[in-house]
Amino acid sequence: MAVAVRVIPCLDVDAGRVVKGVNFTALRDAGDPVELATAYDAQGADELTFLDITASAGDRETTYDVVRRTAECVFIPLTVGGGIREVADVDRLLRAGADKVSINTAAVARPELLREASRRFGAQCIVLSVDARRVPLGEPPTPSGFEVTTHGGRRGTGIDAVDWAARGQELGVGEILLNSMDADGTKAGFDLEMISAVRAVVTVPVIASGGAGEVGHFPPAVAAGADAVLAASVFHFGQLRIGEVKDGLRQAGVTVR
Amino acid sequence: MTRVVVLDYGSGNLRSAQRALHRAGAEVVVSADVDAALNADGLVVPGVGAFAACMAGLRAVRGDRIIGRRLAGGRPVLGICVGMQVLFSRGVEHGVQTDGCGEWPGTVERLKADVLPHMGWNTVAPPAGSWLFAGLDPDARFYFVHSYAARRWELESSGLLTPPLVTWAEHGEQFVAAVENGPLWATQFHPEKSGDAGAQLLRNWIETL
């Protein structure tokens, strides 16, 4: 028997409400995060991820409240990402009831944050979230052909995304959340080459994200090396149910819970 | 109502443990108070992160002595994740050896597996007669997140005492996933994060208190 491949719905949370945008621009409001989290738990989700996209610092208190209320009634692991700038932010989220915290932009700006957070709280609760894309034509290439982006995929950094994932592991993160910004919102399938390239250089679990549109998209992501698959809008708008995705994985010979 | 104290020594998401135990039917207090911890019907020792940091935190609230005194009086203790690991004699992380509580002989070491941490839902193999896993489906999965574990069980069974019940799991290699040894029980996985299966397991423990 082996550890099951995890199916993880992601909820984008803005000032305490759930939203999900197509390619992160056109946002649609769709509900109470705690209610949705409970529904996903009942559907068989293996973990939950909240991505906090709250812009103003004043509204961030609502995020802690959402995390607190979710931890009260959901008994599967909860990861929270978005807006984490310093070790104190990680501490606050863990105290509110998050099991893991994912760090993205702040780690690009200051990689040592990953080491500090991992040393203090343990590798098991620090996730490096990598928003990666294929380097657009006409821009300086990276060795792997993939680069790290910031600002929701709008800004390239020139940092090689595969190297960055490996660096994250060196700095002590316990997991890589790999989000393809090219595939995100397209519902055309995961970027399998990107998953394989990252899988080849890290030994921590890799969560594949971005591009899921149908049941058949998930098994190839696992075959490419993903330990977990994450999706937002397809679950969120009821196009796919967690159980359907798991049935599809099971039929493809993948171990699921 | 059964009173359970979750030992608060600065490690991890205690709120989840508190809520899950409450859901499983106990009255739960999160505390580092020595009297409260000694007098509770059951004591839960949680723990996440590094072995050495957990052991230092535990010692700072005299948790190792609280555990020892409870066990001497036959009072139940449940260790969870690193809260289980620190019950062994020692842990070795990044080449550094740290003494544990020494309730069980053995060393907690890094698992040999392709992907670490072992993160996610896995099955376990409980022995016949397990109380902890009573009523649970053999295919039930529990949530693990750890890179280190006891890869061997070294406590010799003596003829005088009930032999310990050891549950195994596998990730790259076999490791101890749970132990039921007199009043001292422990799980390497997180029952408080293991949905309905975890709730059943916690109920099973609470019913023995």
pLDDT of B130-174, one tens digit each?
A: 999 999 999 999 999 999 999 999 998 777 677 899 999 999 999
pLDDT at B189 over 60: yes
Q: Which helix (H) or strand (E) holds A47?
A: none
Window from A28-42, A80-94, B50-64, B154-168 with minimum mean pLDDT = A28-42
With 0-12 / 13-18 / 19 or more C-beta atoms within 10 angstroms meaning exposed / middle / buried, residue A196 is middle
Other CB atoms within 10 A of residue A68 CB:
15
Q: What is the CA radius of gyration of chain A?
A: 17
Q: pLDDT value at position A28?
A: 45
Residues of chain B in contact with residue A222, where contact means CB-CB under 8 angstroms, are: none
Q: Find the mean pLDDT for residues A68-96.
A: 93
Q: Each residue of B81-112: pLDDT tens digit?
A: 999 999 999 999 989 999 999 999 999 999 99
- Asked if B171's CB is within 8 angstroms of A123's CB, the reply is no
Confirm or reject contact between A98 and chain B (CB < 8 A). yes
Confirm or reject contact between B164 and chain A (CB < 8 A). no
Q: pLDDT value at position A1?
A: 60
Q: Each residue of A118-131: pLDDT tens digit?
A: 999 999 999 999 99
Quote the mean pLDDT of chain B.
Answer: 95
In whole angstroms, what is the distance from residue A250 CA to residue A257 CA?
9
In chain A, which among 76-95 make CB contacts under 8 A with chain B? 76-77, 94-95
Pick the residue of A38, A73, A75 with the most B CBs within 10 A to test the interface with B by mutation. A75
Confirm or reject contact between B195 and chain A (CB < 8 A). yes
Amino acid in position A42: A
E runs forming strands in chain A:
6-14, 17-22, 26-29, 48-52, 78-81, 100-103, 126-134, 146-150, 155-160, 175-180, 206-209, 228-231
Residues of chain B in contact with residue A73, where contact means CB-CB under 8 angstroms, are: 19
User: Which of A46, A97, A124 faces B146 most closely, judged by CB atoms?
Assistant: A124
- Asked if B192's CB is within 8 angstroms of A227's CB, the reply is no
State how far residue A140 is from chain B, nearest Cα, in angstroms: 33
In whole angstroms, what is the distance from residue A219 CA to residue B50 CA?
34
Q: pLDDT value at position A30?
A: 53
Crossing angle (nearest 10°) for helices A60-73 and B14-23: 40
ipTM of this complex: 0.94
Other CB atoms within 10 A of residue B192 CB:
30
Window from A59-73, A156-170, B54-68, B143-157 with minimum mean pLDDT = A59-73
Could you tell me which chain B residue has the CA closest to the CA of A72? B19
- Asked if A75's CB is within 8 angstroms of B121's CB, the reply is no
Confirm or reject contact between A201 and chain B (CB < 8 A). no
User: Which of B120, B146, B193 faces A75 most closely, judged by CB atoms?
Assistant: B193
Q: Find the mean pLDDT for residues B168-193.
A: 97
Please identify every residue of B annotated as catalytic.
Answer: 81, 190, 192
Query: Across-strand partners of B144?
Result: B120
Could you tell me which chain A residue has the CA closest to the CA of B113? A203
In chain B, which among 99-118 make CB contacts under 8 A with chain A? 114-118
In whole angstroms, what is the distance from residue A78 CA to residue B120 CA?
12
Residue B8 CB partners (closer than 8 Å, separation 6+): B14, B30, B31, B32, B61
**Token output for B201:** 């397991």
**Token output for B1:** 């109502």
Q: Which of A41, A131, A160, A184 is catalytic?
A: A131
Q: Find the mean pLDDT for residues B184-205.
A: 97
- Asked if B193's CB is within 8 angstroms of A227's CB, the reply is no
Q: pLDDT value at position A20?
A: 61
Phi-psi region of A235 (alpha: psi -120 to 50; beta: other; left: phi over 0): alpha
Q: pLDDT value at position A257?
A: 97
Task: Reduce the DSSP state of residue A207 to 3 states and report it.
Answer: strand
Q: Residues B80, B44: contact at Cβ < 8 Å? A: yes
Is-catalytic flag, A59? no
Could you tell me which chain B residue has the CA closest to the CA of A174? B117
Task: Reduce the DSSP state of residue A143 to 3 states and report it.
Answer: coil
Phi-psi region of A16 (alpha: psi -120 to 50; beta: other; left: phi over 0): left
Could you tell me which chain A residue has the CA closest to the CA of B145? A124
**Phi, psi (degrees; rounded to nearest 5) at A142:** -105, 160
pTM to 2 decimals?
Answer: 0.95
pLDDT at A218 over 60: yes
In whole angstroms, what is the distance from residue B153 CA to residue B175 CA?
9
Could you tell me which chain B residue has the CA closest to the CA of A43? B195
- Asked if B119's CB is within 8 angstroms of A124's CB, the reply is yes
pLDDT at A191 over 60: yes
State how far residue B72 is from chain A, nearest Cα, in angstroms: 32
E runs forming strands in A99-192:
100-103, 126-134, 146-150, 155-160, 175-180
On the CB side of B38, CA atoms within 13 Å amount to: 12
Q: pLDDT value at position A154?
A: 85
